[in-house]
Structure 1
Amino acid sequence: MSIEGYKRIRNKKISRYSLQYMLKCLEDPEHPSAGPYLSFMNLTGNWHPNMELKSTRFKQMVYYILMTFFFSQYLKCLIGLDLSALLFIIQTAPFHMGTPKTIFFRKDYHLWEKLIDYMSRTELRQLSDEDEEVIDVMDEYIRKSRRVIYPFWFMAICCNISLFTDPYQKNQIVENGTDIYVPLFQFYVPFNQDVPPGYYYSMVIQTILGNIMSSYIISWDSLVISTFIFFAGQLKISRVYCTKVIDPESKERSHENIIKCHRFHTSLKEHQKLFEKLISSVMFIYLIVISINLGSCIIQISNASGDLPAMMAAMLFVFGILVQLLIFYWFSNEVTVESLSVSSGIFESKWITMDAKIQKEVALLQHTTSKRLFFQSRAM
């Protein structure tokens, strides 16, 4: 089966009325599994394979402007010792995780390029080999990735709407006969943002920059989740290779298959460790931030028992955080589970029919593929 034939089969399986069919424009034949998420990251400017384009340079300028505004908020909070601003940052901390996520991604950009290049080259090579069983596994994990991440995008949009509309619901509060206008962020701006019309000018800036920051977060999360799914899927493929490692009619081909299977699994482990290195610092910060944030949101929900809209908004935000955590931990655990089943594929091969030399090589391969893969969150 050719790559083009595989694409036609995938397209036939997709309903014309499904979300996946409508989002086919995001697919990239050069990146079978990561294509839509790289397209999204390219839209935000975090993924920038061609820095010569004017659009790319414009996106980089937007990024630095955005970082300037958000850091101005953090500085304003620290310098002014504004407790209410600090509390709001804590309550929306997962949103502010876009700052370390983009900074670390750009710092390690060349390593991300190396990882993504490995993922795409591996998938394209497997497609060119035209092994039906391997292609079926690949098709399964690519579809799983789309089924998980596209609804995740929808959930993120709902959380965004809840977050960005919350200040307007609080603007009706009147204290001592004076209207109170609640901002979304505490950016430094060269005009008075406490009263109209400066308040509305400020909210336009905050909403635009806030949505851009949100797109940074969603695109980073999407790429990381899809990479978890990639490694779990490739471990399944590694198991398939193990079941086919022995050719009873040729000792030489069996020897070559063992070498190829060993190299493939070793390379997979090396790049899994590279991926762990790329995300461990961010996930360590995320773990601390989420722990504080969940406590803050739960207190907010308990204090807002008489304010139904505020309570519903806080509950939706907490639900979004918990779903995000579940997705990260679920699919990282899938990698660990799949890594433990790779070596069992060897026992499904016809290794028992081979001579002692090949059986020793099989035993070494079994030892190599039995290593448990896992992810750890570590400080910088």
Structure 2
Amino acid sequence: MDRIWKIIIHEIGTVFVLSEFMELYVIRSDLDLVLTNLKISLLGFVIVCKANTFVFWQGNWRQVIDYITEADQFERDNQDEAKGNIINTYTRYCRRVTYFYWVLVFTTFITSITTPLMIYYSSETFREGFHNGTERFPHIFSSWMPFDKENFPGSWITVMWHTGICVYGALIMAAYDTSVVVILVYFGGKLDLLRIRCREMLGTEGKGVTDKNADQVVRQLHQIHVLLLKHSRLFNSVLSPVMFCYVVMCSLMICASAFQLTSATNTTQKLLMAEYLIFAIAQLFMFCWHSNDVIHKSEAVMIGPYESDWWAANHKQRNNVQILQGQMKIVHIYTAGPFTNLTLSTFLAV
């Protein structure tokens, strides 16, 4: 029963986004209202996509998260000084980026729910127009409602409804985005650890290892890389459709915000538009930066076998090094749908 209620809450968010697109038809004659509605409704569309993919592809998400939990525990149980430094580095980084993103989302949330008040108190012309009936009630979002939302009590019912939806959207966005970024950071850290393991697979200081130990180590490294690729691809399968929607919607949202920023005459409105613009750009940058970082480390990990003491190994062990290096050449790139890769080049193009 608890699960059903959670699904219902997610679908209520979907219904709200549909009501925003319905409102677009109602206000189609006012360009400024259309742009304001469009950038919020596009963001809302991405949020409900994130929420619904979490629900519909829950099994795949659990599989990826379970793998990361198990693999991270394995690394922590078998760490030395070099590996411990990498583990501590990505752990601290994940905490910092999570805190930063939650602050960014909270700031945007506060900005969103207080925008009507800022507009009301910053513009004397708007206050006069509101009191004489020429200006509409300043709502948080632009959405269709089945009652009169411009006058009491419908106006304040709409305000409470919008505030609740804003809380829901902020929580979904923060939870999804930080989960994706942390997973990407972990994959990058895992590749760094794998490179160190490859470097140490034939011993240190030219002392060499026995054929039996070399076979065991190479087999373990091969298995680690295969599992990493498998779950990286599984993660991309649930992330790629959302990122495709996100890149398209974010591009349109940035265009709408930038256009309104250049046409706004009120200082408060300019600050609000700038905050939305910064938030949209920061979101896209975080995904593209961390995805690009994983791709770079995935290309660099194949150097690991050649950083080992292969020169002190016998012919059989050198063949194993070549086989392992061939495995390490496989690079997995995260995508935003079937049309583009999630890289810094994509971010700059947008």
| 1:211 is aligned to 2:167 | yes
Measure, in 2, the Cα distance between the counterparts of 1:369 and 1:222: 28
SS at match of 2:51: helix
After superposition, residues 274-285 of structure 1 pair within 5 angstroms as 274-285=234-245
> Structure 1 runs of 4+ off > 6 angstroms?
none
| 1:347 is aligned to 2:306 | yes
Please name the residue that 1:140 is paired with.
Answer: 89
Measure, in 2, the Cα distance between the counterparts of 1:176 and 1:201: 20
| 1:72 is aligned to 2:19 | yes
- TM-aligned CA deviation for residue 182 of structure 1: 2.1
Between structures 1 and 2, the one with greater helix share: 2
| 1:118 is aligned to 2:67 | yes
Please name the residue that 2:152 is paired with.
Answer: 196
Measure, in 1, the Cα distance between the counterparts of 2:14 and 2:336: 25
Aligned residues of 1:98 and 1:213 also touching (Cα < 8 A) = yes
Aligned residues of 1:95 and 1:217 also touching (Cα < 8 A) = no
**What's the C-alpha RMSD, in Å, of the aligned pairs?**
2.2
Measure, in 2, the Cα distance between the counterparts of 1:349 and 1:125: 22
- TM-aligned CA deviation for residue 367 of structure 1: 1.4
After superposition, residues 215-364 of structure 1 pair within 5 angstroms as 215-247=171-203, 248-304=208-264, 306-364=265-323
Specify whether residues 335 and 65 from structure 1 end up closer, same or farther in structure 2 by C-alpha distance, changes over 3 A only. same
Q: 1:90 aligns with which of 34, 38, 43?
A: 38
SS at match of 1:342: helix
- TM-score normalised according to structure 1 size: 0.79
Measure, in 2, the Cα distance between the counterparts of 1:66 and 1:375: 28
- TM-aligned CA deviation for residue 136 of structure 1: 2.6
Measure, in 2, the Cα distance between the counterparts of 1:265 and 1:91: 41
Measure, in 2, the Cα distance between the counterparts of 1:379 and 1:343: 26
Please name the residue that 1:127 is paired with.
Answer: 76
| 1:375 is aligned to 2:334 | yes
SS at match of 2:300: coil
Q: Gapped runs of 5+ residues in structure 2?
A: 121-125, 340-350
- TM-score normalised according to structure 2 size: 0.86
Measure, in 2, the Cα distance between the counterparts of 1:104 and 1:326: 22
SS at match of 1:194: coil
Identical amino acids, percent of aligned pairs: 21
SS at match of 2:209: coil
1:177 alignment partner AA:
N
CA deviations over 1:321-345 (Å, ceiling 9, x no partner)? 1111211111111101111221222
SS at match of 1:216: helix
Please name the residue that 1:180 is paired with.
Answer: 136
- TM-aligned CA deviation for residue 187 of structure 1: 4.1
Measure, in 1, the Cα distance between the counterparts of 2:153 and 2:72: 54
- TM-aligned CA deviation for residue 199 of structure 1: 0.9
Aligned residues of 2:247 and 2:284 also touching (Cα < 8 A) = no
Aligned residues of 1:95 and 1:214 also touching (Cα < 8 A) = no
Measure, in 1, the Cα distance between the counterparts of 2:196 and 2:178: 27
CA deviations over 1:250-283 (Å, ceiling 9, x no partner)? 2200111011101111211121111111111111
Specify whether residues 235 and 102 from structure 1 end up closer, same or farther in structure 2 by C-alpha distance, changes over 3 A only. same
- TM-aligned CA deviation for residue 120 of structure 1: 0.5
Aligned residues of 2:195 and 2:303 also touching (Cα < 8 A) = yes
Aligned residues of 1:285 and 1:379 also touching (Cα < 8 A) = no
Measure, in 1, the Cα distance between the counterparts of 2:338 and 2:138: 35
SS at match of 1:365: helix
Specify whether residues 59 and 103 from structure 1 end up closer, same or farther in structure 2 by C-alpha distance, changes over 3 A only. closer
Specify whether residues 95 and 64 from structure 1 end up closer, same or farther in structure 2 by C-alpha distance, changes over 3 A only. closer
Measure, in 2, the Cα distance between the counterparts of 1:215 and 1:176: 35
Measure, in 1, the Cα distance between the counterparts of 2:13 and 2:245: 21
Specify whether residues 379 and 207 from structure 1 end up closer, same or farther in structure 2 by C-alpha distance, changes over 3 A only. farther
Measure, in 1, the Cα distance between the counterparts of 2:19 and 2:334: 34
- TM-aligned CA deviation for residue 168 of structure 1: 2.7
- TM-aligned CA deviation for residue 236 of structure 1: 0.2
